[in-house]
Structure 1
């Protein structure tokens, strides 16, 4: 049987019942569309992770300094980290259990009718703390190198700590008392995004912090440019404590690329099952309709066999019909899937990402589904004996 004649017969069989053929193709269309949309949207969403990755998390590096008989990091060492390429800001902190719950009051008057003392955390820090914690000064200013060099008795309060102590304005240079020692409040820090607890703390210069067991650095906070965190995490320990870098513990964000790949993999795994189920449904539909077509065309099959058609010719005809049905569904499904991906990306203002190989393979996948679905009906048609079919 000439291939052209075989193709003509298969097309005639499909077009003889266009409504049935269209509904049969619809199952494959849905399956292929689901697969293309799933993989395309997953790739696009994964690509957006790099751009939409939480910048605060992606650029934050923390160096923990363990207790040691000899201080591993000095307050002045932070300046070496700040000079590293890719570092935006850096600051050192000193915290201790001794200073975690100190009695702080805003005046030295004993009033039995009200609570004047507050239990607050006292922390020593280097001058660059507001930028390092991504906070802002809502009142006054933060202490600088001049305050530290002169040994000025100044403090900065977190916003919540200032509210608890009743300090709202700094024009008259209000003072607070830590124990019996008075300190002038020169600023109020608000919204420390990296260290929320500092909003309820009292912040001291390093020289004053020594009075409360805050003489050694316990943590260094570093902010980097986007994409530089991994490199800075490797360089910061050496810059802070050359020769002792192995003793420092560095906490750096995970790679945005790994996060993107993880999201893409999770989305693919979740929706790929849906696409495969749709393909199976489409394959069952093709197999069922092809089998019904075989039963309806028994007389035609018998006549062809009586006129000399071999079993392979009959099987090839029905296999080609089911394959064409799957191929048509694959082409339509791939086209609809690409349109859906572009529409979703346009609505979300994303850049669409789609593997060209996927779009090219979708029609082939539809044809394979149709071929496999038509295998049993085609074999059943080929096994019919001419006499029984004509009878």
Structure 2
């Protein structure tokens, strides 16, 4: 059987039942479309995620300060000023927390109301004036205390959003006071919208001079926000700036390299969507196999007639394999085209920059043809095993 005749018979077999061929092709269309869309959207969305990760997560540095063993503090409160002079540091704040400051009794007034809970166990900590910027938050009410409050030792406080809700403080125009461990402090502001150090939402923040009453004398950690790309440099320079004589005692916690974290996040997203696309492709392959098998069973007499006229087993098998391969190829071409259109449409709606891999668009039809070929192996084998006498009976 000549190759040209074989191709003609395969095409004629497809065109003889156009509706069934179209329905069979639809399985591959859906599979290839899903594969192209998922991979393309993964690459496009991954690019957006990378940009957000670089802007937010890769610029935070934390310096852990150990407890002093000599009586002199390892890091002084004014050391943050030296740190902010470094090029690349956008904001920084020194924080002191201690066991004495955990679960401190805090009340919003001195009255005892048996009908409701008026006393709450909150965390009390001390911090320098740059804490809102270092914690990536903002003052939702009032303002943060300033250097004047710190120098004078004023008994003022700033509370987090959750602490304000628990204490029932919703306005500051009358200078409300809270009682921390039995001592009154004027509330200057409410700190909220925290994107870092979210535990501050349920805390009471005092100036360093006022925090000594609760054992908050020494700096325990320093929060630093850097410019994009300056994380590694600041992580190396921060210990020397904060404690020139004992920098080796400080532990710097910096995010991983942005390039490594970016590549890992992108690989994870690509792997996830690749698996989803392959599952859809398997569904399309099963559809081709099922319909091709039904086609073989319905064309038993045709197969028997061809065998009786001299067609060998390999000719019958090749015919059905070619038919299923052509179905997969057609589905791959249509699916790749629809996938590219879908990627551009999603990117336009989301105002993203579409990332299209030309190699994927070229390989998609070949993948569809391969799926069709593999899906037609069993039906072609069934057709080739038929005996002419049994098929014509």
TM-score by length of 2: 0.77
Q: Deviations over 1:73-128 (max 9, x none)?
A: 22222234323443321100111222335566789xx8788999876544222121
Q: Give the drift of 1:13.
A: 2.6
Give the aligned partner of residue 265 of structure 2: 259
1:14 and 1:112 map into 2 onto residues whose CA distance is 87
2:164 and 2:5 map into 1 onto residues whose CA distance is 91
**Pair 1:133–1:379, CA change in 2 (3 A):** closer
Tell me if 1:187 matches 2:188.
yes
**What residue ranges of structure 2 are gaps of 5+ in the alignment?**
none
1:227 and 1:358 map into 2 onto residues whose CA distance is 33
Tell me if 1:23 matches 2:26.
no
Give the aligned partner of residue 6 of structure 1: 6
1:116-135 to structure 2, matched below 5 A, reads: 121-135=123-137
2:355 and 2:2 map into 1 onto residues whose CA distance is 43
**Pair 1:367–1:61, CA change in 2 (3 A):** same
Contact 1:88 1:223 (8 Å CA) reproduced? yes
Bigger mean CA offset, 97-106 vs 361-370:
97-106
**Pair 1:48–1:159, CA change in 2 (3 A):** closer
Contact 1:60 1:252 (8 Å CA) reproduced? yes
Give the aligned partner of residue 236 of structure 1: 238
1:65-76 to structure 2, matched below 5 A, reads: 65-70=65-70, 71-76=73-78
Bigger mean CA offset, 325-334 vs 64-73:
64-73
Q: Deviations over 1:8-51 (max 9, x none)?
A: 33222322222232222222222222322232233333333224
1:138 and 1:376 map into 2 onto residues whose CA distance is 68
Contact 1:327 1:364 (8 Å CA) reproduced? yes
Contact 2:91 2:134 (8 Å CA) reproduced? yes
2:321 and 2:164 map into 1 onto residues whose CA distance is 81
Tell me if 1:293 matches 2:299.
yes
Q: Of the candidates 73, 76, 87, which is equivalent to residue 89 of structure 2? A: 87
Contact 2:122 2:204 (8 Å CA) reproduced? yes
Contact 1:167 1:174 (8 Å CA) reproduced? no
**Pair 1:332–1:280, CA change in 2 (3 A):** same
Q: Secondary structure at the match of 2:78?
A: helix
1:210-229 to structure 2, matched below 5 A, reads: 210-226=212-228, 228-229=230-231
**Pair 1:262–1:332, CA change in 2 (3 A):** same
Tell me if 1:274 matches 2:280.
yes
Give the aligned partner of residue 374 of structure 2: 372
Tell me if 1:203 matches 2:208.
no
2:178 and 2:11 map into 1 onto residues whose CA distance is 92
Give the aligned partner of residue 332 of structure 1: 334
Q: Secondary structure at the match of 2:74?
A: coil
1:68 and 1:277 map into 2 onto residues whose CA distance is 65
Q: Give the drift of 1:256.
A: 4.4
1:311-390 to structure 2, matched below 5 A, reads: 312-378=314-380
**Pair 1:123–1:66, CA change in 2 (3 A):** same
1:59 and 1:260 map into 2 onto residues whose CA distance is 19
Give the aligned partner of residue 38 of structure 2: 38
Q: Secondary structure at the match of 1:75?
A: coil
Contact 2:211 2:217 (8 Å CA) reproduced? yes
TM-score by length of 1: 0.78
2:65 and 2:48 map into 1 onto residues whose CA distance is 35
**What residue ranges of structure 1 are gaps of 5+ in the alignment?**
none
1:14 and 1:381 map into 2 onto residues whose CA distance is 16
Contact 2:164 2:170 (8 Å CA) reproduced? yes
Q: Give the drift of 1:218.
A: 0.7
Q: Give the drift of 1:294.
A: 5.3
Q: Give the drift of 1:346.
A: 3.3
Contact 1:30 1:333 (8 Å CA) reproduced? yes
Contact 1:192 1:198 (8 Å CA) reproduced? no
Contact 1:104 1:176 (8 Å CA) reproduced? yes
